[in-house]
Amino acid sequence: MEEIVRAENLKKTFTLSKKQRKIEKTTIGRKTAVDGLSFSAYRGEIYGLLGPNGAGKTTTLRLLSTLIRPDAGDASVCGRSVTKEAYKVRDKIGFMTSELKLEGFFTPDYLFGFFGRLHGMDESLIRRRKEDLFARFGIDKFAEVKVQDLSTGMKQKVSLVVAIVHDPDVVIFDEPTNGLDVLTAKVVTDFLCELKAMGKSVILSTHIFSLVEKLCDRVGIIIDGKMAKDGTLDEVWAGKTLEDRFFEIYHTVTGETI
């Protein structure tokens, strides 16, 4: 088993704005979102970060994607350090969320080429990759239609495919099905299975148990920025339902019962 992502003692503290302090009803100006987090993900597997709201999932994924820098600790993606070789890491990863982040004015064809060029790919490589991916995900018929005129499911597909234009080894996916209707959510889960079939490694975050049960090989339960439990599904599961196990763990960590 080849280790492809390794997080070591990641720590990230935010300074809270006045507005945020009001919302969180606190007078403390700082919040440690990720608190000494360590875990490993392996090639060809889907790793799920499972945790409640505010547990630090998004922050962890942003740290791995080099969008933000850890205060302490480090992580490596394909052997590259996120703190020391950020640009190299960015070429190895695709980062996506369930929110559509494509400019509606352009066509899938144009956007695919645009992001390919941003990753420094040459035109013939972009063309070959486009033919392959567009055919595989059924976008080829809509390649010249503006994104804003596509159906929601097709938009979602385009947004996913564009994020892997550069053939990244690792796909980092924050809340893959959050806020999606059932049909679009299926587009996304199918896409994730396809990625796995293509031999990619995926790290996703979610608070949905069924998604983890259905897709993930490994799971890490994250509570208050700390890794409460991680391992293969079978290890974490320990013969119970994932849901029951989660609340057991939640209770041991926080002392709260729900």
Partner 1 sequence: MKLLALMKKEFVRFFSDPKLLINMLLPGILIYIIYSLMGNLIWQDAKEYKFVVAQTNAPEQIVAMTTAAVSGNGWSIEFQSGVQDAKERVEKGELTAYVVFPEVFEEKIGEYDAESGTPAPQVELYYRSADEESMSFFTLFTAVLDGYEHGKSNKFDVNAGGEKYDFSEETNVFATTMGRMLPFIVVALVFSSCMGVTLESVAGEKERGTLATVLVTSVRRSHVALGKVVPLSCVAAIGALSSFLGVVLSLPKLAGMAVGDLVASYGFTSYLLLFLLIMSVIPLIVAAIAALSTYAKSVKEASAYTSIVMIVAMVLSIAAAVVQSIGSWTVVVPILNAVVAMQGVLTLNISVWQSLVSVGLNLVYAVLLVLLIAKMLSSERIMFGK
Ligand X SMILES: Nc1ncnc2c1ncn2[C@@H]1O[C@H](COP(=O)(O)OP(=O)(O)OP(=O)(O)O)[C@@H](O)[C@H]1O
Binding site for ligand X (CB under 6 A): 14, 16, 20, 31, 33, 51, 53-59, 207
In our burial notation (b when 16+ CB lie closer than 10 A, e otherwise), range 171-190 reads: bbbbbbbbebeeebbebbee
The residues with which 231 forms a beta bridge, in sequence order, are: 219
Nearer to partner 1 (CB atom), residue 49 or residue 212:
49
Q: How far apart are CA 227 and CA 14, in angstroms?
A: 19
When asked if residue 58 is in the footprint of Mg ion (CB under 5 A), the reply is yes
DSSP states of 116-154: HHHTT--HHHHHHHHHHHHHHTT-GGGTTS-GGGS-HHH
When asked if residue 234 is in the footprint of partner 1 (CB under 8 A), the reply is no
When asked if residue 38 is in the footprint of Mg ion (CB under 5 A), the reply is no
List CB contacts of 174: < 8 A, sequence separation 6 or more.
57, 58, 61, 95, 96, 97, 98, 204, 205
Give the residue among 213, 205, 243 at the shortest CA–CA distance from 33.
Answer: 205
Q: Which of 106, 137, 209, 247 binds partner 1 (CB under 8 A)?
A: 106
Shortest approach of ligand X to residue 126 CB, angstroms? 33
What x-and-dash track marks residues 62-81 binding partner 1 by CB under 8 A?
A: x--x-xxx------------
Task: List the single partner that 118 binds among ligand X, Mg ion, partner 1, none, CB under 5 to 8 Å by kind.
Answer: partner 1
When asked if residue 178 is in the footprint of Mg ion (CB under 5 A), the reply is no
List CB contacts of 72: < 8 A, sequence separation 6 or more.
9, 10, 11, 36
Stretch that binds partner 1, among 39-47, 76-84, 90-98, 212-220 (CB under 8 A): 90-98
Task: List the single partner that 76 binds among Mg ion, ligand X, partner 1, none, CB under 5 to 8 Å by kind.
Answer: none
Nearer to ligand X (CB atom), residue 38 or residue 58:
58
Return residues touching partner 1 (CB under 8 A): 14-15, 17, 19-20, 62, 65, 67-69, 87-88, 90-91, 93-95, 97, 99, 101-103, 105-106, 110, 114-115, 117-120, 163, 166
Return residues touching Mg ion (CB under 5 A): 58
